[in-house]
């Protein structure tokens, strides 16, 4: 977890400001989440494990393979096609693959006010939830200058329901993706 903690320290100010996570936990995010998952009652761990037919160990295998692929393509200059495939894979893994199987169920069993609960709640709320739905329904594209993504999400209700345009900068997307992967790794390693 130490290596993951070190990677996440770049975002420690965001953890404190946006997620209201205390200073110590913001510097040891993965370790804190891992400890909180490990300390969940057995019944809550079983609830997470049984949330889907895919076991946490199998999801962890997919995360490891995904990370190995990301490391491989990042080490080489493959060109725009591979970069685009990388973006698609990142968004699928971080927001679609992990939402129901990890973040939603952990949010429900996490102790109120815990770092685990705050991170999971953050990862399933707008605008991340809206971005996830846009990716799942193919309602996204690159900004013209490639500084981020544009996406369309449902807003309003009833007859006023419509698709509204939003943007996410690359820096913000990096934050969301890093947080998603850190939470998932820390959780799946401790279930």
Q: Is residue 129, in this structure, part of any structural domain at all?
A: no
Q: Of residues 77 and 53, which shows the higher confidence score?
A: 53
pLDDT at 22: 96
3-state secondary structure of 31: helix
Residue 160 has pLDDT above 90, yes or no: no
Question: Considering the domain boundaries, does residue 15 fall inside one?
Answer: yes
pLDDT at 159: 84
Percent of the chain with pLDDT over 70: 100
How far are the Cα atoms of 37, 137, 174 from residue 128, in angstroms, in the given order? 23, 14, 12
Considering the domain boundaries, does residue 55 fall inside one?
A: yes
35-40: average pLDDT: 98
| Average pLDDT of the residues in 160-189 | 96
pLDDT at 7: 93
CB 9, CB 27: distance < 8 Å? yes
Predicted confidence at residue 143, as pLDDT, reads 96
154-162's contacts with Cβ under 8 Å and 24+ in sequence apart are 154/130
pLDDT at 74: 83
What pLDDT score was predicted for residue 149? 98
- CA–CA dist 155, 91 (Å, integer): 21
103: containing domain = 2-122+171-188
Looking at residue 101, its pLDDT comes to 92
| Assigned domain for 128 exists | no
Average pLDDT on 31-58 reads 97
What is the C-alpha separation between 88 and 80, in angstroms, rounded? Answer: 12
Asked whether residue 26 carries a pLDDT value surpassing 90, the answer given is: yes
- Greatest mean pLDDT among 18-22, 66-70, 83-87 lies in 18-22
Please give the Cα distance from 10 to 175 (Å, whole number).
Answer: 9
Looking at the domain assignment, is residue 147 inside a domain?
no
Residues 6 or more apart in contact with residue 96 via CB below 8 angstroms: 132, 135, 136
Instruction: Give me the pLDDT at residue 35, please.
Output: 98
- Between the two ends of the chain, the Cα-to-Cα distance in Å is 15
Evaluate if pTM is beyond 0.85: yes
Residue 180 lies inside a defined structural domain of this protein: yes
Average model confidence (pLDDT) across the chain = 95
Residue in 81, 36, 62 with CA at minimum distance from that of residue 181: 62
Query: At 53, is the pLDDT very low, low, confident or very high (cuts 50, 70, 90)?
Result: very high
The structural domain count of the chain equals 1
Q: Would residue 151 count as lying in a domain?
A: no
How many whole angstroms separate alpha carbon 76 and alpha carbon 94?
22
Torsion angles phi and psi, residue 8, rounded to 5: -80, -15
> Per the domain annotation, does 53 fall within a domain?
yes
What per-residue confidence (pLDDT) applies to 79? 86
């Amino acid at each position: 977890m130490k290596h993951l903690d070190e990677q996440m320290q770049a975002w420690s100010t965001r953890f404190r400001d946006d997620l209201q996570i205390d200073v110590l936990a913001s510097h040891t995010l993965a370790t804190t989440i891992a400890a909180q998952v490990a300390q969940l009652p057995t019944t809550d761990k079983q609830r997470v494990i049984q949330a889907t037919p895919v076991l946490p160990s199998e999801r962890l295998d997919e995360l490891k393979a995904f990370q190995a692929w990301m490391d491989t393509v990042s080490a080489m200059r493959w060109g725009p096609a591979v970069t685009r495939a990388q973006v698609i894979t990142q968004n699928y893994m971080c927001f679609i693959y992990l939402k129901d199987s990890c973040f939603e169920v952990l949010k429900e069993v996490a102790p109120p006010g815990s770092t685990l609960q705050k991170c999971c709640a953050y990862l399933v709320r707008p605008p991340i939830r809206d971005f996830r739905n846009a990716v799942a329904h193919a309602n996204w594209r690159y900004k013209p200058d490639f500084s981020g993504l544009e996406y369309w999400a449902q807003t309003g209700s009833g007859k006023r329901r419509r698709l509204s345009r939003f943007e996410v900068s690359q820096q913000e997307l990096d934050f969301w993706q890093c947080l998603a992967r850190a939470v998932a790794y820390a959780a799946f390693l401790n279930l």
